[in-house]
C-alpha cells in the first residue's frame, strides 16, 4: 500500500517507519496533555491528506502542538513546500532538516502564510478548554484546509467550526494509546477512540 506524490510512489510502510524512528515525545508534562501520535497512524493520516489532494508541492504546512513534529514531518516527507512546528515544550524539540520550530504558546503563531494546518492538540480533558486556542487559532488563520485529531467523544468541535464559517467531516478514526500518567480516564486498556476531522471553509 502507498500513495503517489510528485509522480513518485511512497510506501505507507516506509513513511510509518521513518515517523516511528523520530525521537519519541517525552510525554512528561500531564498539564500539557501530551498524547503522542504513533507512526502507523500518522502515516495513514498523511496518506489520506495526499489522496484528497490537500498536500502538494506548494503547500505550506503548520503543525500546532507539534510534540516531536511527527505530523508536520510526515507532511514534509510527503512533499510539502515548508513546515512550521509550533510547540510549547522545548524538551520535544530536535534538529530535523527542512522544518522550522516556533517554541512557544500556540497563541504566539501569526496564523498567516499557511495553506494546511495539521494538529493533534491537547483535548481539553485535563484542563478544560485547553484545545480552544488551537481550534480558534486554526479557524481564524488563513489556511484553506485544517486536519484535526481529537477525542472521538468531543462534541463541541463541529459547532465551533460552524460558528467560524468552516465545515468539517470525520475522515479517519482509530484507537490511541494513552501514556501511563493519563490512565485514570482510560476506557479500554489505556486505549481511547480518536477521530480525524477535515475542515474546509463554508
Ligand atoms: N502533535 C504531536 C503531539 C500531540 S500532544 C503528536 O501528535 O504526537 C499535544 C502537544 O501540544 C504536546 O506536545 C504539548 O506540549 C503541546 N501543547 C499543549 N499546550 C500547548 C500550547 N498552549 N501551545 C503550544 N503547544 C502546546
Give the SS3 label for residue 105: coil
H helices within 53-153, ranges in order? Answer: 70-77, 132-139
H helices within the chain, ranges in order? Answer: 12-20, 39-51, 70-77, 132-139, 157-163
Where would I find the beta strands (DSSP E) of 152-190? 166-177
**Ligand 1, atom nearest to 121 Cα:** 9
Q: Give the global pTM.
A: 0.95
Q: In the numeric block, which cell numbers belong to residue 83?
A: 513546515
Residue nearest to atom 17 of ligand 1 (CA): 65
Q: Under a CB-based contact definition with an 8 Å cutoff, are residues 48 and 78 in contact?
A: no
pLDDT of 26 = 86
Q: Under a CB-based contact definition with an 8 Å cutoff, are residues 119 and 65 in contact?
A: yes
Rounded Cα–Cα distance for residues 91 and 155 (Å):
31
pLDDT of 184 = 57
Task: Provide the residue count of the chain.
Answer: 202
User: Which protein residues are within 6 Å of ligand 1, measured from CB?
Assistant: 25, 32-37, 65-67, 70-71, 86-89, 92, 105-106, 120-122, 133
pLDDT of 27 = 80
pLDDT of 120 = 97
**Ligand 1, atom nearest to 42 Cα:** 7
**Which residue, 46, 39, 47, is CA-closest to 3?**
47
pLDDT of 189 = 59
**Ligand 1, atom nearest to 105 Cα:** 23
β-strands 191-201, 166-177 pairing:
antiparallel
Q: In the numeric block, which cell numbers belong to residue 84?
A: 512550521
Q: Under a CB-based contact definition with an 8 Å cutoff, are residues 12 and 2 in contact?
A: yes
Pocket test for ligand 1, best of 122, 129, 138, 178 (most atoms within 8 A of CB): 122
Q: How far is the CA of 38 from the centre of ligand 1 (A)?
A: 14
Residue nearest to atom 13 of ligand 1 (CA): 67
The DSSP string of 24-36 is: PP----GGG---P
Q: How far is the CA of 112 from the centre of ligand 1 (A)?
A: 20
Residue nearest to atom 18 of ligand 1 (CA): 32
Q: Under a CB-based contact definition with an 8 Å cutoff, are residues 54 and 9 in contact?
A: no
- Residue 22 CB coordination number (10 Å): 18
Give the SS3 label for residue 127: coil
pLDDT of 20 = 97
Mean pLDDT per 10-residue segment, the chain (202 residues): 79 95 88 89 97 96 98 97 97 96 98 98 91 98 98 95 97 86 57 95 95
Q: Under a CB-based contact definition with an 8 Å cutoff, are residues 19 and 69 in contact?
A: no
pLDDT of 183 = 54
Residue nearest to atom 8 of ligand 1 (CA): 36
Q: Under a CB-based contact definition with an 8 Å cutoff, are residues 89 and 32 in contact?
A: yes
Rounded Cα–Cα distance for residues 23 and 62 (Å):
20
Amino acid at each position: 500500500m502507498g500513495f503517489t506524490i510528485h509522480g513518485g510512489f511512497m510506501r505507507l510502510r516506509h513513511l510509518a517507519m521513518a515517523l516511528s524512528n523520530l525521537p519519541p515525545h517525552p510525554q512528561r508534562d500531564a498539564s500539557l496533555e501530551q498524547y503522542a501520535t504513533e507512526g502507523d497512524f500518522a502515516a495513514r493520516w498523511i496518506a489520506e491528506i495526499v489522496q484528497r489532494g490537500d498536500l502538494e508541492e506548494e503547500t505550506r504546512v503548520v503543525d500546532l502542538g507539534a510534540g516531536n513534529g511527527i505530523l508536520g514531518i510526515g507532511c514534509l516527507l510527503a512533499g510539502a513546500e515548508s513546515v512550521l512546528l509550533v510547540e510549547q515544550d522545548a524538551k520535544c524539540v530536535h534538529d530535523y532538516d527542512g522544518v522550522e520550530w516556533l517554541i512557544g504558546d500556540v497563541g504566539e503563531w501569526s496564523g498567516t502564510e499557511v495553506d494546511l494546518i495539521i494538529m493533534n492538540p491537547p483535548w481539553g480533558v485535563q484542563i478544560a478548554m485547553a484545545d480552544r486556542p488551537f481550534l480558534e487559532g486554526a479557524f481564524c488563520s488563513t489556511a484553506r484546509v485544517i486536519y484535526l485529531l481529537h477525542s472521538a467523544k468531543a462534541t463541541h468541535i463541529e459547532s465551533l467550526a460552524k460558528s467560524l464559517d468552516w465545515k468539517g467531516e470525520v475522515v479517519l478514526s482509530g484507537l490511541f494509546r494513552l501514556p501511563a500518567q493519563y490512565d485514570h480516564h482510560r476506557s479500554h486498556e489505556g486505549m481511547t477512540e480518536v477521530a480525524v476531522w477535515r475542515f474546509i471553509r463554508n
